[in-house]
Amino acid sequence: MTPDKSAVIDLFARHVSSGKVAFFQRAGIEFVMGRREGAYIWDIDGRTRLINCHCNGGVFNLGHRHPAVVQALVESVQTLDIGNHHLISEPRARLAARLAELAPGLSYTVFAVGGGEATDLAIKVARGYTGRQKIVSASGGYHGHTGFALFTGDEKYFAPFGPRAPGFTQVPFNDIDALAAEMKDTAAVILETIPATLGMPIPKPDYLPQVRRLCDTHGALLILDEIQAGLGRTGRLWAYEHFDVTPDMMLLGKGLSGGVYPMAATLMRSELERVFQADPFVHISTFGGAEVGCPVALKVLEISADPAFLAHVQAISQIFAEGFADLQRHHASVLVGLRQMGLMMGIEMIHPACGPLFSKAAYDNGFLSIYAANDTRVAQFLPPLIIERPLAEELLERVDAALAQVTKMMGVA
């Protein structure tokens, strides 16, 4: 029996979020997520199918309901449950050990439910370890809506709830001089390796190495947020590998879940773990690193770290690089170009109105792409890492049609 879509929308509006329903109704996108499989999602009434090129910021790196990931959860739930964060845990130990193998130099992991919680923990560690309070982040960056994470972001995210907490400051991304001017008495610099909400600006080749040197010079810690950029999205397991740097802490989330069980993590150098030695219960997370989800995350790591898988990401990214070069020539009046590292891509256009218009045009042309909230000239373009050449080529055709629609709406043809 097909669900009554209008009834679902009404129920959501009355009990979850009236604002979201009103927003999507104004945009003409009354889509209720129903069936989902691989690269596709269907409306609950089955009439609309979209290629998911948003992937919830990388949650669905491996597509929806990847068979091996689903099987890992099915097997896990036969014997495991949430577990108890206070006790020693075999599943957590095995997952943390595998993360340490895959991220050399980051020997310890503290698990969380989501990326915001992982960010909060990293800031707590930085302050506890250094004895300092100052946290420097990038303007336009985003690290979550919770606690300390909220104050690493732009004012619009926390202003409705009060002023920014003391000890937090922002500098422009890719501006090493601005960062250098703020390094005195800094506990940590926190950056997304590639800032997704800022529209995927690619770091200058020497930017992150210079940030690393500044942190070392001033005794500050470097926290790299790979919640969206990690786990193969850029064609390497960790995006920071492209820049020959190693952070003091790395944040993971989203894709670590395999899209089926919430999982996030803060990885850190071994000496930072001493923050917890005097009182190992000073930080706990009831659902963080839930035992039933650990085999799921291990399966995600097994797939994502496979050299053949990473080579596939690189090959598909080249198809998009070449395709967007052609699209830029055909849509020069609206398309500036593609910001790209692997399959982490931002479609840069000429005007702040273009991103929202492109999101609508994408929907009309059968794919999901969400504009970057902190640079609305850019549409985030994050297809699942599992797609093959034919679907990549089909997507380029759909993007072509969407750009033509944006051009018409902007009146710049």
Cβ atoms of residues 173 and 140 within 8 Å = yes
CATH of 67-304, one of 3.40.640.10, 3.40.50.360, 3.40.50.2300, 1.10.10.60: 3.40.640.10
Span(s) in the chain for CATH 3.40.640.10: 67-304
Residue of 403, 402, 323, 395 whose CA lies nearest to 55: 395
pLDDT value, residue 3: 80
CA distance 385 to 263: 19
Intervals of the chain under pLDDT 50: none
pLDDT value, residue 413: 66
pLDDT value, residue 228: 97
pLDDT value, residue 285: 93
Q: pTM of this prediction?
A: 0.96
pLDDT value, residue 250: 98
pLDDT value, residue 394: 98
Cα distances from 35 to residues 41, 44, 172, 237, 394, in angstroms, run: 6, 7, 41, 29, 21
